[in-house]
Structure 1
Amino acid sequence: MDFLFFVLNFVLTLTLPVHCGKILVFPHEGSHWINMNVLIEELHARGHHITVLRALDSWYIAEESPHYVSITLPVLLGGDDEFYHTFISKQLQIRRQGHSAWTRFKLDMSLKDKFSEMHQKICELVIYIIEKDPALIDRLEKTGYDVMLTDPANGGGVVLAHYLHLPLVLNVRWTVHGEAHFGMAPSPLSYVPFPLSQLTDRMTFIQRTYNLLFYTVRLYLYKRIVGPHYRALCARYFHPHLDYFELFQAADIWLMRVDFVFEFPRPTMPNIIYVGGFQCKPAKRLPADLEDFVQTSGDHGVIVMSLGTLVGQLPLDIAEEIAAAFAELPQKVILRYTGERPSALANNTLLVKWFPQNDLLGHPKTRLFVSHGGTNGIFEAIYHGVPIVGLPLVFDQDDNLSKMRSRGVAKVVDIATIDRRSFKEALHEVLRDPSYRRRMQKLSQLHRDTPLKPLESAIFWTEFVMRHKGAAHLRTEAYKMPWYSYYSVDVVGFLMCVVLLTVFVVFNIIRCLCCRCVKRKKKQD
């Protein structure tokens, strides 16, 4: 009987249709690639054939991989470890000047030119693919890809997908216009805080005013930075009057790298699939050297510190203060750091150039995570229930940690003005107050308690788009409406005109009747 059952299963496996699709990937560099690569590995494991487009100077996206075939384009995008070290140092110098509106403005301006240059180079990359290499674009068109998978933090993949007429799946938290929800879902500013504002969903009147002004200014800046580049690109290949952001809004599925354990409740859309933490997994056994070091911590446990993919070092004075604070703790510390060794470093701190962060956070002896506040690290901390001391540097990190602080699972320290005393106090507070760990473990339970694991959900919906050649039934067409139609300003205006016209007609009728009555009375008199 068992043999017959085995044979039946084997025959069914051979006869049932299996769709192995072809996926074209236009990724984004840095930590964004870490997320994308997790999806690529899983899609490859399901039997799909994946092609990744990469620049010549790509510093995270490997040219050779067992999971995908790469096409290396002879275009330089710029950016490497040294560039980001210099950039972070400049950001810290500006932040040390205070927290005034002028400091915020200078930070924005320092980012503005770099982002504009990046998007210009992305557009040049797309132009090269379409115009400069006829054999390449011919190959892309004839391969018969089922879907384009891209990160809309740059618009290259979005534009190329529309040029090739491919269904579009976005691996997304940020678009070229900022946080993705604000580009395609209703976002009432009365209770939906604009990212980077560090507000919560419970705002006072003053905070709601700030939220509105902050949103208006930031959206204006985003459009000024990226608009000229993508408008010119879309005019070149589509229609001169096309709103380039409509190409983003026309995407079939948005794989959103957050969930509502992290994000505040807000309106959403049916084609937004929440896959926050899809890169997280149960901890594996540590390498022998790390395991030996962790075991020497005894009951005090271990503190894990990393400043993310892009930052391996800090200005030496800041590194010295951090090392000095660690030296006064009974815990063992594992610190990912590639810069000059601080002189204050003590024997309880192990300096490494890389470590398996997910596995360390999942180790039972890990007590605390010192993090810059990137979403990858935050979700790994949530998944494993480890509280956070945050040292935000740039981009969305302040806001990410602000969300964690509002949930009572993180303590945030200003790294620009950090000293050993303030840092040590923050570490002691989180280590000694059990509420931080208790709340984080509750978030971990909520995050894990889902009918489908985030990675499985991401893969299902990517394959759904491949099977059905898109997901237009889940996508609203509201983005094609002008703003006055979207907010029903034209309808309200029309109804007001009808009311005013009705009042005017009724008033004149009554006026005429009154005049006739008066005339009759005069005649009778």
Structure 2
Amino acid sequence: MALHHLCGMFVFLCVSLISLTQHCDGGNILVFPVDGSHWVNMKILLEELHAKGHSLTVIRASNSWYIPKKSDLYTSITIEIGEDVDNFFEVYLQEQNHDKEGASLMTFFKLTKDFLSMISQAHSLWSEVATNIFDDQNMIKRIIDSQYDLVLTDPAMAPGVVLAKYLKLPLVLNVRWITSGEGHFVLAPSPLSYIPVPGSGLTDKMSFIQRIKNIFFYSIVLFQQKFLVGPVYDAMCDKYIDGGCDIISLLQEADIWLFRSDFVFEFSRPTMPNVVYIGGFQCKPAQPLPAELEEFVQSAGQHGVIIMTLGTLVNALPEEVTDEIASVFAKMPQKVIWRHKGKRPSTLGNNTLVVDWMPQKDLLGHPQTKVFVAHGGTNGVQEAIYYGVPVLGIPLFFDQYDNLLRLQERGAGQIIQLADVNGHNFEKALHKLLHQESYRQNMQRLSHLHRDQPITPMEQAVFWVEYVMRHKGAPHLRTEAYKMPWYSYYSLDVLLLLLSVVSALLLSIFAIFRCLCCQRRRKIKTKQS
């Protein structure tokens, strides 16, 4: 009897414990990422989703730079791909640095043409990848049979967006850049009078001439979408999507935009209810450095450490620029940690440690780090804000100048163009950041603002991914404005009607008065005769 009672108590306790355990319904997510630095932040999001119990499948290219085929986080689907553009960036930098005294107009147009050509080539390549997926019946059957709950993709390349439409699945975007520029411009009202177009190098305070320049750069974005990017995907949409489609409308139909920015960093602007700002979501408190690296950092003493890296796409700057930078570092009392994979600079000093890889976030979070020399990628800029380290920026391409401009406008960084990098300019900029306390104070202020949130950006990201899975989409957060023709969106048809009515009314009044005047004149003539 006692044994039976004990067994009953044991079962009761087990049931009670199970009922108290938080229930987690793991979702099934298909991920179509973009390689390079985009994958770095996508992987961080996937790690968190995996920890929450969700099942992940990642579509990757066979020649991927960073996305491994085997992982504890996900199952992979590998697509054979025959070419890439990984050597483009070094060639582009060499051309960009060719004219030290300032590029001519012809050089500008050549660089712009080459850059747009590279973008078009990349989209064509990934369009072919998507076509191969759709034409592979076994692969498509496998994907459909897996019964995914949603597609998570980075829309800088569009195959994931088209695949979500084909599979009729909810779509979540991990985004700052879309196929033809910054995401807000196809999603939210974007008046060009105070919203700078990326690439223009402008702020939200523009003169009349600057507004003309802003419109010019926006016309380049439209040209890129209309003639270079859009046609690449149109044929695929017509072939595989019932009723056809275009990339812009597919982006506008996305359920949630996880936007890798926030208004501590970004200029204020209109937005939409399905945009969730997760800028800095990859940031966490710094971890201890490896012993040897910690010893090197501590050996800097009161002078501190400068760290330099140029991101994932560029291993090294042109050799002459590298030598100039190394010679400046050699004269500094600070220790320097430099991620550099090119030829070892001939002017390298004993105070400079050259590495193939560095724990960037842990170094930025170290109290000894004084300045971050960087190219201005979104990840690095947001990490610098999180840890409060002022930035000396050397923008190379993409959004990097615009990112750094936002820091410079807030007094938290300085920009030096690649063509202007020489010993004198580089040393002057470094000294300014090291010895003018306002730069660190302004960056610390941005850091405090960024961290002062009710929940972390990562918690926001995970919540909204799970929200879309729970509700099988979020169409109630999307506006119907995208389905309106442009003349209706701007109420030009209403304005035309109102102008027509007013014009008709005025003409009628004019005709009546004219008629009355004519009758009066006839009466006067009749009396006179």
Q: Same fold (TM over 0.5)?
A: yes
Matched residue, 1:71: 77
Q: Which amino acid counterpart does residue 29 of structure 1 have in structure 2?
A: D
Contact residue 410 and residue 430 of structure 1 kept, 8 A: yes
Deviations 1:355-409 (A, max 9, x none): 1000000001100100011010111110000001111111111111111111111
CA–CA distance in 2 between the matches of 1:121 and 1:4? 60
Q: CA deviation at 1:210?
A: 1.2
Contact residue 91 and residue 394 of structure 1 kept, 8 A: no
Contact residue 85 and residue 118 of structure 2 kept, 8 A: no
Matched residue, 2:4: none
Q: Secondary structure at the match of 1:350?
A: strand
Q: Answer yes or no: is 1:254 the counterpart of 2:257.
A: yes
Matched residue, 2:32: 26
Give the structure-2-normalised TM-score. Answer: 0.94
Q: CA deviation at 1:516?
A: 3.1
Structure 1 residues 5 and 333, CA gap change in structure 2 (3 angstroms): farther
Q: Secondary structure at the match of 1:441?
A: helix
Matched residue, 1:104: 108
Give the structure-1-normalised TM-score. Answer: 0.95
Matched residue, 2:475: 472
Matched residue, 2:267: 264
Q: Secondary structure at the match of 2:189?
A: coil
Contact residue 97 and residue 103 of structure 1 kept, 8 A: no
Q: CA deviation at 1:21?
A: 0.5
CA–CA distance in 1 between the matches of 2:74 and 2:309? 29
Q: Secondary structure at the match of 2:29?
A: strand
Q: More displaced, 48-57 or 95-104?
A: 95-104
Matched residue, 2:19: 12
CA–CA distance in 2 between the matches of 1:117 and 1:79? 8
Contact residue 233 and residue 246 of structure 2 kept, 8 A: no
Q: Within 5 A, what are the aligned runs for 1:186-197?
A: 186-197=189-200
Instruction: Tell me the number of residue pairs that the alignment of Structure 1 and Structure 2 aligns.
Output: 519
Contact residue 285 and residue 365 of structure 2 kept, 8 A: yes
CA–CA distance in 1 between the matches of 2:245 and 2:501? 34
Instruction: Indicate the percent of aligned positions where both proteins have the same amino acid.
Output: 53
Matched residue, 2:423: 420
Q: Within 5 A, what are the aligned runs for 1:115-514?
A: 115-131=119-135, 133-238=136-241, 242-514=245-517
CA–CA distance in 2 between the matches of 1:239 and 1:333? 57
Q: Secondary structure at the match of 1:66?
A: coil
Deviations 1:180-228 (A, max 9, x none): 0011100111111111111111111111121112211332133322121
Unpaired stretches in structure 2, ≥5 consecutive residues: 1-9
Contact residue 261 and residue 446 of structure 1 kept, 8 A: yes
Q: CA deviation at 1:419?
A: 1.2
CA–CA distance in 2 between the matches of 1:270 and 1:104? 39
Q: Secondary structure at the match of 2:321?
A: helix
Deviations 1:252-271 (A, max 9, x none): 11111011111100011111
Q: CA deviation at 1:79?
A: 3.5
Q: Answer yes or no: is 1:59 the counterpart of 2:62.
A: no
Contact residue 371 and residue 377 of structure 1 kept, 8 A: yes
Q: Which amino acid counterpart does residue 18 of structure 2 have in structure 1?
A: V
Q: Secondary structure at the match of 1:195?
A: coil
Contact residue 102 and residue 419 of structure 2 kept, 8 A: no
CA–CA distance in 1 between the matches of 2:220 and 2:320? 35
Unpaired stretches in structure 1, ≥5 consecutive residues: none
CA–CA distance in 1 between the matches of 2:464 and 2:245? 28
Deviations 1:450-483 (A, max 9, x none): 1110111011111111111111111112112121
Q: CA deviation at 1:142?
A: 1.7
Q: Which amino acid counterpart does residue 32 of structure 1 have in structure 2?
A: H
Contact residue 85 and residue 122 of structure 2 kept, 8 A: no
Structure 1 residues 517 and 262, CA gap change in structure 2 (3 angstroms): same
Structure 1 residues 79 and 61, CA gap change in structure 2 (3 angstroms): farther
Q: More displaced, 359-368 or 396-405?
A: 396-405
Contact residue 253 and residue 273 of structure 1 kept, 8 A: yes
CA–CA distance in 2 between the matches of 1:415 and 1:98? 11
Matched residue, 1:45: 51
Structure 1 residues 326 and 4, CA gap change in structure 2 (3 angstroms): farther
CA–CA distance in 1 between the matches of 2:457 and 2:371? 25
Contact residue 306 and residue 337 of structure 1 kept, 8 A: yes
Q: Which amino acid counterpart does residue 375 of structure 1 have in structure 2?
A: T
CA RMSD of aligned residues (A): 1.9
Q: Secondary structure at the match of 1:299?
A: helix
